[in-house]
Amino acid sequence: MRRRTWIVLAGGVAAMMVAMGIGRFAFTPILPIMMDHRLFSATGAGYLASSNYLGYLIGAFLLTLIQVKNRSTLLFAGIVISIGTTWGMGEFHGLEAWLLLRFLSGLASATVFVIVTSIVMERLSALQAGIFYGGVGAGILLTGIAVPLLAHNREWMGIWKGLGLISLVLGMAAWYSLGGSNAGAVKASPSSNRTSSSVRRILICLTLAYGLEGLGYIATGTYLVAYAKTVSSIPNMASLSWMLVGAAAIPSCVAWSMIAKRWGKKWTLSLAMAIQAIGIAVPVLIPNTAAIFAGAILFGATFMGITMMFVAYAKDLFPQNNRKIIGLLTTFFGLGQIIGPLIAGHLISGNGSYLAALIGAAIIVLAGAISLPLGIGRADRIAQTC
């Protein structure tokens, strides 16, 4: 049983690397290369990012509504689509085709995230869960390393196809580990009766704060490396800053889970979001290489830990409705992600500067951090959650 748990954990990490670290976030380090080729402007980049997050939103929303009879089938479809759309970004040309591919990639990312989370979290301890969520950071680190290695003569097509092949290998490992009948079967469970007004209030506060997180953090998640390239002339500065994001994200979930045990999830979430807001603002307030690196580390050290804690907090409230609650939170998070890149892209294109977009994003994340303790108040003690 112990061996099977570690196999499931390894498969979960591989799946997160494919669908999230590569399928969802590889666009960020490749973005400045594509923009150098004048394939689209900052506004066009915003549309592509929002198309991806629209798919993510729809995927998460549908998973809150539909009755999933076989998780394995959905998992297989999500992995295949994620691999195919990553490869397809280098195979097809034109904004219209890329908008469709990024949309489908977002749909696959949400499907894999929600389904894999619901599968592996049934088996994992808090420490193992932190390792699982670190798979996103591992995927980001992998893209940061792979992009400059695959960028022969600054050709962006080979980068996407190379990452597609890497995704294929990781996807096969994920399917081998998670695609068995045990992972695919849905356990019958009674509906939760913990629907007091206090619990609902906490869930509403969590959902709104997570939406603000999605709205604010995604500006950095989309434009960090493009901005880094305008500040520093260090070779491969874009990929290097993205590698720091991934490296900081890998251990972050384990670290934040340990802090949450001591402080509680509410205050730990507020702290993580406040630190993230600083990480978003510092690079544009102090535009130099050190500030870029500091911002990348602070961003990487917080964004997946925040996601993990929001999901864990909600699951404490409704322990028998994991998939639907994860889907609900991801829906509002995805809604914020759609709006964020559109606003940021227009601000960057209109002002010719990243200052307003990133400072605005930092303020939004900080507002989410403040809203958690103010909104939840003493209700979490009444609900006897965290």
Reported as a pLDDT band with limits 50, 70 and 90, residue 322 is low
**In this predicted model, what pLDDT tens digit does every residue of 148-202 receive, in sequence order?**
888 876 678 999 999 999 999 999 999 988 876 344 444 444 444 445 677 778 8
Rounded to the nearest 10°, the torsion over CA 298, 299, 304, 308 is: 60
Cα dist from 158 to 129, 169, 222, whole Å? 34, 17, 21
Buried b (16+ CB within 10 A) or exposed e, 207-230: bbbbbbbbbbbbbbbbbbbbbbbe
Chain mean pLDDT for the chain: 84
Q: Kindly state the average pLDDT of the residues 9-33.
A: 91
For residue 313, pLDDT over 90 is answered with no
Q: Which domain holds residue 101?
A: 2-187+194-382
Q: Domain count of the chain?
A: 1
pLDDT at 180: 60
Gap between the terminal Cα atoms of the chain: 29
Reported as a pLDDT band with limits 50, 70 and 90, residue 383 is very low
CATH number for 247: 1.20.1250.20
pTM of the model: 0.83
**In this predicted model, what pLDDT tens digit does every residue of 82-137 receive, in sequence order?**
999 999 999 998 899 999 999 999 999 989 988 888 788 777 776 788 888 899 99
pLDDT at 347: 87
107 or 374, higher pLDDT: 107
For the ranges 55-64, 285-294, 310-319, the maximum mean pLDDT occurs at 285-294
Looking at this protein, which amino acid is placed at residue 160?
W
